[in-house]
């Protein structure tokens, strides 16, 4: 079954090593706030997990990491936690048109309360042009939030260049990066990048669901979202998800150790997938870019002309047992055009024929062969039906 799973950007399977560690710690039930030995053990485990997370993203100190319930909460904490200080002021924030709803919905929430928001456009490859960021900056801009890698197309933004541009204009502007799709897949080093905050999520890197993290360069500028018993050094109330943190930490540690090997493997698999697609199926276009420097190695978004990807995904799933995604997986139950592909300037027709294939550490060449075989048969069948479909419309 795992070989037929091509939806790694939606979520990844728990890796076996993480399962083993979770089983081992199932009895680690102490409350990290308790002063007795059981509490201290739990506390040290959470601490250890933070160090493992720090190492993966190149953070200097474990107190720069706050564990949350998800990537979504980490993004919300960064944005709302920072904007809280400007409630009474006429401020401006910048984001992009292709963000995940975790960011877009926070921006819309503030827009409804009178905050000015600029949604930066992207080019046909899905990349923000530095000039447009430069032009969008205003004297009252206080926050910029940009995703490192897009969940639908895999396109990677020039984060370092963006940071340099922002800080050269105004060093006080807070720069948050949603790196939920990037961490564990491509090298991310917060100290090198110099960003103010960065969000990432356990279930995207083979860890358990229900845990995310926010890295903060300097936490003093944020207000907590959840007030309570002073956990997480006062940044997030609520008894810690100890087991989740342990699993996330181990997943981070393994991702760090394997990153160079996994990265090369994904690049090689993507090249193989593209080559196979080219020789097996006519009339398709890649959405985003396949430039290795600007895209996730395990993501390919493809538009197959003359078919509806919803029908294609259903055939792939029902007949071949393959899992892929049409549009953003987090919102795939809603039938609406992908805002990301719209921002790339694609037609409604192209968007409706687009499929996201995302793969990961358990994917093999044989799995790609099976995918291609199933895809080409399904695309062929759907295209054969086209004249009849057209006659009926
Ligand atoms: N940001 C991006 C780019 C994502 O792809 C996702 C989830 O798909 C999120 C944020 C939200 O993360 P989580 O599912 O951990 O809430």
234-244, pLDDT tens digit by residue?
999 999 999 99
Question: Ligand 1 pocket check: which of 53, 155, 181, 299 to mutate, most ligand atoms within 8 Å of Cβ?
Answer: 181
CB atoms within 10 A of CB 282: 12
Quote the CA–CA distance of 103 and 294 in Å, as a whole number. 21
CATH 3.40.640.10 corresponds to the domain 16-254? yes
Task: Compute the mean pLDDT over every residue in the chain, rounded to the nearest whole number.
Answer: 95
- Mean pLDDT across 99-113: 97
* pLDDT reading at 387 higher than 80: no
Token readout for 282 is 């006519």
- Using CB atoms within 10 Å of the CB of residue 48, give its burial: 0 to 12 exposed, 13 to 18 middle, 19+ buried: middle
Q: Do domains 2-11+259-383 and 16-254 have the same CATH topology?
A: no
* pLDDT reading at 392 higher than 80: no
pLDDT at res. 328: 40
pTM assigned to the model: 0.96
Q: Is 147 in the pocket of ligand 1 (CB under 6 A)?
A: yes
Q: Is 177 in the pocket of ligand 1 (CB under 6 A)?
A: no
* pLDDT reading at 184 higher than 90: yes
Q: Which atom of ligand 1 is nearest to the CA of 203?
A: 15
- Mean pLDDT across 44-72: 96
Give per-residue pLDDT as tens, 131-160. Answer: 999 999 999 999 999 999 999 999 999 999
pLDDT at res. 336: 87
Please, what is the Cα angle at 70 between 122 and 56, to 5 degrees? 80
- Mean pLDDT across 256-269: 98
Band (pLDDT 50/70/90 cuts) for residue 393 is very low
Question: Ligand 1 pocket check: which of 8, 12, 53, 72 to mutate, most ligand atoms within 8 Å of Cβ?
Answer: 72
CATH 1.20.120.1730 corresponds to the domain 2-11+259-383? no
Expressed in angstroms and rounded, the spacing between residue 167 Cα and the centre of ligand 1 is 26
Domain ranges for the chain: 2-11+259-383, 16-254
DSSP state of 183: B
Give per-residue pLDDT as tens, 218-237. Answer: 977 799 999 999 999 999 99
pLDDT at res. 389: 57
Q: Is 57 in the pocket of ligand 1 (CB under 6 A)?
A: no
327: part of which helix (H) or strand (E)?
Answer: none
| Helix axis angle, 37-57 to 242-280, nearest 10° | 30
Give per-residue pLDDT as tens, 328-365. Answer: 443 445 558 999 999 999 999 999 999 999 999 999 99
Expressed in angstroms and rounded, the spacing between residue 285 Cα and the centre of ligand 1 is 26
Percentage of residues of the chain with pLDDT beyond 70: 96
pLDDT at res. 386: 77
């Amino acid at each position: 079954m795992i070989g037929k799973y091509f939806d790694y950007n939606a979520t990844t399977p728990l890796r076996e090593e993480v399962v083993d560690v979770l089983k081992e710690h199932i009895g680690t039930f102490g409350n990290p706030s308790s002063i007795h030995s059981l509490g201290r053990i739990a506390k040290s485990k959470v601490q250890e997990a933070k160090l493992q997370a720090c190492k993966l993203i190149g953070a200097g100190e474990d107190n720069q990491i706050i564990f949350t319930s998800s990537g979504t909460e980490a993004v919300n904490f960064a944005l709302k936690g920072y904007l809280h200080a400007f409630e009474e002021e006429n401020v401006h924030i910048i984001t992009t048109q292709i963000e995940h709803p975790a960011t877009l919905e926070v921006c819309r929430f503030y827009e409804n309360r009178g905050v000015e928001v600029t949604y930066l456009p992207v080019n046909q490859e899905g990349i923000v042009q530095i000039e447009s960021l430069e032009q969008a900056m205003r004297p009252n801009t206080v926050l910029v939030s940009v995703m490192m890698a897009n969940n639908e197309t895999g396109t990677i933004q020039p984060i370092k260049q963006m940071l340099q541009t922002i800080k050269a204009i105004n060093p006080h502007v807070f720069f948050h990066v949603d790196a939920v799709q990037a961490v564990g897949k491509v090298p991310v080093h917060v100290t090198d990048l110099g960003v103010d905050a960065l969000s990432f999520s356990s279930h995207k890197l083979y860890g358990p669901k229900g845990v995310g993290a926010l890295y903060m360069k300097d936490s003093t500028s944020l207000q907590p979202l959840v007030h309570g018993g002073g956990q997480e050094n006062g940044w997030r109330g609520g008894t810690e998800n100890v087991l989740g943190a342990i699993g996330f930490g181990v997943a981070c540690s393994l991702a760090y150790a394997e990153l160079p090997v996994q990265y090369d493997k994904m690049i090689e698999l993507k090249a193989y997938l593209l080559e196979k697609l080219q020789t097996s199926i006519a009339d398709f276009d890649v959405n985003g870019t396949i430039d290795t420097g600007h895209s996730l190695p395990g993501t390919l978004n493809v538009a197959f002309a003359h078919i509806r990807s919803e029908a294609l995904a259903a055939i792939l799933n029902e007949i071949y047992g393959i899992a892929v995604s049409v549009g953003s997986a987090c919102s795939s139950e809603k039938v609406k055009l992908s805002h990301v592909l719209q921002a790339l300037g694609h037609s409604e027709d192209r968007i409706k024929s687009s499929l996201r294939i995302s793969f990961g550490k358990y994917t093999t060449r044989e799995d790609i062969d099976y995918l291609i075989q199933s895809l080409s048969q399904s695309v062929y069948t759907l295209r054969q039906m086209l004249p009849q479909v057209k006659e009926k419309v």
